[in-house]
Amino acid sequence: MVAYGTYALLWLWWTACLCPVSGRDFKLGLLIPQGRAHRLYGWETTAAATSIAIDTVMRDPSLLPGHTLSVVWRDSSCNSKVAAGAAVELKVQEDVDVLLAPPCAEACIQSSQLAAYWNMPTISWLPVDPQLENKALLKTLARTFVPSNKFGVAVVELLKLWSWKRLGIFSDSGFLCKSSTESLKQYLAANNVTLAGEYSYDIKYLDPQLISEKLRILKQNARIIYMCHPSIPVERSILLQAHELEMTSGDYVLINAKLSIEVKVDQPWSSDDGRNAEAIKAYESVLEIGIKFPNDPAAQRVRDDIPKIMAQEPWNYRLGLSLGLKGGFAALYLHDAVLLYAVALNATLAAGEDPRDGGKILQHMKGTMFKGTSGYVTMDGRADREPEFMVWDMAPNGKFEVVAEYGVAVSGQRRMVQLRAVDWGNGETTPPADAPKCGFKGELCAPKTQGRGRITVIVCIVAGLLLVVGGIAAYYQRKKKFEADLSSMSWRMNFEDIDFSAATKQLMSQMSMKSKGTSGSRSQGTGAPSKTTPSLYSGKKSTRAPPQCGRYEGNYIAVKNVRKLHIQVDKEQLLEFKEANHENLNRFIGACVEAPHICLVYEFCPKGSLQDILENDDIKLDNMFKLSLLSDVVKGMEYLHRCAVASHGSLRSNKCLIDNRWMVKITDFGMARFKANQAENPEVGEHEEYMKLLWTAPELLRMPCPPLKGTQKGDVYSFAIITQEVISRGHPYCANDATPRDIVERVRMGTNPLVRPVVDEEGASQEVCTLMKRCWSEAPEARPDFKAIRKIFRKCNKGRDANVMDNMIVIMEKYAANLESVVADRTKQLVEEQKKTDKLLHSMLPRRVPSTLSLRIHISTELKRALDEMGGFKVEHRGQMEIKVETVNDSYMVVSGIPDRNPDHVDQVATMSLNLLSEAAQFTIRHLPSAQLLLRIGLHTGPCAAGVVGLSMPRYCLFGDTVNTASRMESNGRALRIHISTELKRALDEMGGFKVEHRGQMEIKGKGMQDTFWLVHKQGFHKPLPMSPPEDLVAGGIVPKSSVTFTFNA
């Protein structure tokens, strides 16, 4: 291994040092996929463009005088790993000077990274992936195809052409459209164009109702709308929805982006759904903008010449002529990539610089201009091609015609130039305005109020003032009553009046089902009682004093003990407490102020705390349920911050209780001085104290004496930690491997990076996760208030306040539909079993044969007898191109072109034979590792008959002279050789690319003396092929592996 590496380094050094610059051949390395799947931009319809370009360069005396260009290629397979390996082969084995990158994005990125490492110039001629924008990584890459991020400049120039200053965006969320819209937004901001709204959709989840809703919102904010769709059918469908919303009346302009040169703007409105008349009307308000279509005579000549050149050396692909293939549009950009390299190389040589320095070559590509087959090629300062765009409008005959063009130089600058008049719909000849005259909401036009209307306004104002005065009077009357109640001590309770014994039995009966399903510690708030359970944080047994539950004046209550010997009642605090009245705040009932039973009394919430719900694995929480719970907390805290209480100060998940209606009620707020200076709880140790601090904001942790009531921004931080609990269904910092004390200390110090919970964002929407991170910002001023938080939650819930009861109704409906679900599951299982049966049948027969069998077509007895004598067969599909027929003996018969005709059948079977021979020769027999596996292959082509015999046990049979001749080729062949007939040899010669050797005449049973041949190899086949071992070794039985040699054909 060391010797090989040393040899490779010395060889590369020798090549670099001893090859003179003058009079040398510069070698182009082409990476391109081969095969039918890539025919639009693959080897068969594109590769010869390099030969045409090289011929153009060689005939130009001003380019590379005394030097030559040549091309070598490798199959990239549109696979990043294969492309990387092929690039290494071109570098090491062929020593190429430039790399023409693959047309597939991932393969292009991988090979371009390698070329950048080697400092080799690389030219991309088709991919538009956003990752190709990273020139810091791909530092030697140039591009002759217009990048998608250039779309923005053309759209902005289109807006300038008709003085539009406001634009909406409606786009597919795929990477291609996303790249173009991101570029567009940057250009909009740079040119002071207002982005009135942006909406995207996922093609995988195309919901017509959601699309219609987004279009309706966009209609209310923009009249000029940029659209980008992944396909014409999707575009047509969305435009029909826009037509239904009256967005094609002539007041709106829809700008559709065409990001591919293969998508022709012809009659996109045409379909067979019976809505063509509506579609034509919809397309009247559409302008199509796309890359300038290379369609001049020079481009057509190149495309016409490609199949002819492919039939010549070094390509030798003659099948394209017989199939009537034509060069693809991608070939024009590959052609210009070769011209670009020749121009830059010429400049590099003229400057006396190293022609193998990719950085130098790239510098000379920047600013290059020439006329290519794909149009005028102008390279920018990043070695990317400057764009040329065209704008189409639909003519009265339903076809699209070019109305504007971008790329024309006006006063030294590229501009959008109008070429002909545009029909704006409904016979309008002037472009529509980008906004209504009075604005979208009538805000630009002052209302006219005269006569009776003015009197009506005055009456309304007077009535409004009376209502305000009445409301203020009612407020002060209510406040006065509150103060009277406080003065009369109506809030004061006698501890002896609370019935604990009767209530506890009833409560435990009500909560038995919930207690069974709950694991983990209960809160110390005012919810349901709990048992002694493992602590959430320490994993140890933790005995927590549950809140006392009792009954007072017929109502269930929860009692929170205050560990003080005496208190001083603050009437002002009680007043603010009584005023805190909201559906998401737990109602304060009263207080016992006589020792030793000093306590606060609240309304009882039977379902426990939010912490209990999160710990109960039996309660399933979907995203809607989680959003409902958090929304209740937000609404309660928003009210709390607006009322006299001002802030909570100790917001935690165990202070958020759940009532019978699954509504969250925040408890333990206010009364800060009432609860202050309590005696230490002997049951709560240091570990539990630090656990309570996990919800505390860092600025409060740093204060030696933090405010008793906390701060509003501190409450927002606590809410962020609760959000993490709900998303993760775990305790705070549950994914952090540290003790509560370590976490609190690191939060207090503000270490870099900041210590915050690690959250799996799959448990909530992106908006909620982003909001959570804003809420736990280190700087308090960076945290939003609860009013802003509530707006974001409403947006997440499509403009509505999330309601857990609505979600519960949905869940109940799901349970009610359980029977339908069961039936659907059974039906699905039946369908799956049917698929298995079909798969088994298709493994025995070609796919179109079972449908014929279902007709129960009978055949004659004589034919059945004749076919039965041939033995049983098992037939398997191979991609509808090759069929393997497994016989009962040790031979396998493979046929291509049956039952579906296949024009490439000879090429596929011959290539398959070479692959089989290569793999078999390298195969190791497990129990005879030193023995060589011997394989004989015989090939023949011609007509044959095929059919299915039997109904209960059908067999697919082939028979005829072609089958017999192929069998004779195999039986008269040699080990590790491919024996072919004269007919097959002729077919291979017509295709080209295969090498055969004449074996001579042989006596073929039933045929007499026949000329036969050996198939040796195929051009472009790089796998090792074995040499046939001596006949005496084969006749002797086991042939050792060491006696077989291999050839490596380029």
CATH code of residue 506: 1.10.510.10
Whether 677 and 756 map to the same domain: the answer is yes
Whether 591 and 719 map to the same domain: the answer is yes
Cα 974 to the center of its chain, rounded Å: 53
Whether 911 and 988 map to the same domain: the answer is yes
| Nearby residues of 174 by Cβ (< 8 Å), 6 or more positions away | 203, 230
Instruction: Determine, yes or no, domain membership for 467.
Output: no
Whether 367 and 234 map to the same domain: the answer is no
Please give the residue range of the domain that contains residue 937. Answer: 843-1047
Q: What pLDDT does 349 receive?
A: 94
The CATH number linked to 201 is 3.40.50.2300
Instruction: Determine, yes or no, domain membership for 964.
Output: yes
Whether 122 and 193 map to the same domain: the answer is no
Instruction: Determine, yes or no, domain membership for 452.
Output: no
The CATH number linked to 879 is 3.30.70.1230
| Nearby residues of 125 by Cβ (< 8 Å), 6 or more positions away | 100, 101, 103, 143, 144, 145, 330, 333, 334, 336, 337
Q: How far apart are CA 654 and CA 648, in angstroms?
A: 13
pLDDT tens digits, 319-371: 888 888 888 888 999 999 999 999 999 999 999 999 999 999 999 999 999 99
| Amino acid in the structure at residue 903 | P
Q: Which of 441, 391, 452, 449 is nearest to 420 (CA)?
A: 391
Instruction: Determine, yes or no, domain membership for 631.
Output: yes
Cα 59 to the center of its chain, rounded Å: 47
Residue 104 contacts residue 78 (beta carbons within 8 Å): yes
Instruction: Determine, yes or no, domain membership for 735.
Output: yes
Angle between helices 232-244 and 208-219 (to 10 degrees): 60
Domain-ending residue, one of 343, 369, 385: 385
Low-confidence ranges of the chain (pLDDT < 50): 1-21, 449, 512-526, 528-546, 854-880, 888, 1050
- Show the DSSP H helices in 93-231 as ranges: 105-118, 151-161, 175-190, 208-219
Structure token pair of residue 187: 């250009």
Q: What pLDDT does 360 receive?
A: 94
Pairing of strands 1008-1018, 882-886: unpaired
At residue 425's C-alpha, the angle toward residues 424 and 429, to 5°, is 45
| Nearby residues of 285 by Cβ (< 8 Å), 6 or more positions away | 247, 248, 249, 250, 252, 253, 254, 424, 425
Cα 822 to the center of its chain, rounded Å: 32
Residue 775 contacts residue 784 (beta carbons within 8 Å): yes
State how many domains the chain has. Answer: 4
Structure token pair of residue 955: 């067999």
Q: What pLDDT does 883 receive?
A: 56
Whether 130 and 235 map to the same domain: the answer is no
Structure token pair of residue 978: 């491919």
Q: What pLDDT does 529 receive?
A: 41
Whether 46 and 185 map to the same domain: the answer is no
Instruction: Determine, yes or no, domain membership for 912.
Output: yes
> Count of alpha carbons within 13 Å of 357, Cβ hemisphere only?
12
Whether 110 and 53 map to the same domain: the answer is yes
Q: What pLDDT does 270 receive?
A: 85
Angstrom CA distances, 42 to 32, 107, 906, 945, stand at 6, 13, 21, 35
What single DSSP character describes residue 150? Answer: G
Instruction: Determine, yes or no, domain membership for 433.
Output: no
Domain-ending residue, one of 758, 792, 812: 812
Residue 630 contacts residue 722 (beta carbons within 8 Å): yes
Residues in the chain: 1050
Angstrom CA distances, 645 to 559, 568, 972, stand at 21, 19, 101
Q: What pLDDT does 486 receive?
A: 54
Residue 14: Cβ within 10 Å count: 10
Whether 211 and 111 map to the same domain: the answer is no
Q: How far apart are CA 221 and CA 219, in angstroms?
A: 5
Whether 850 and 714 map to the same domain: the answer is no
Angle between helices 276-283 and 232-244 (to 10 degrees): 80
Q: How far apart are CA 1041 and CA 870, in angstroms?
A: 36
| Nearby residues of 279 by Cβ (< 8 Å), 6 or more positions away | 236, 239, 240, 243, 269, 270, 271
Q: Which stretch of DSSP H or E encloses residue 945?
A: strand 945-949
Q: What is the reported pTM?
A: 0.45
Residue with tokens 């291509």: 896
Q: Which of 757, 688, 691 is nearest to 720 (CA)?
A: 757
Whether 655 and 749 map to the same domain: the answer is yes
Whether 630 and 720 map to the same domain: the answer is yes
Domain-ending residue, one of 812, 832, 861: 812
Instruction: Determine, yes or no, domain membership for 866.
Output: yes
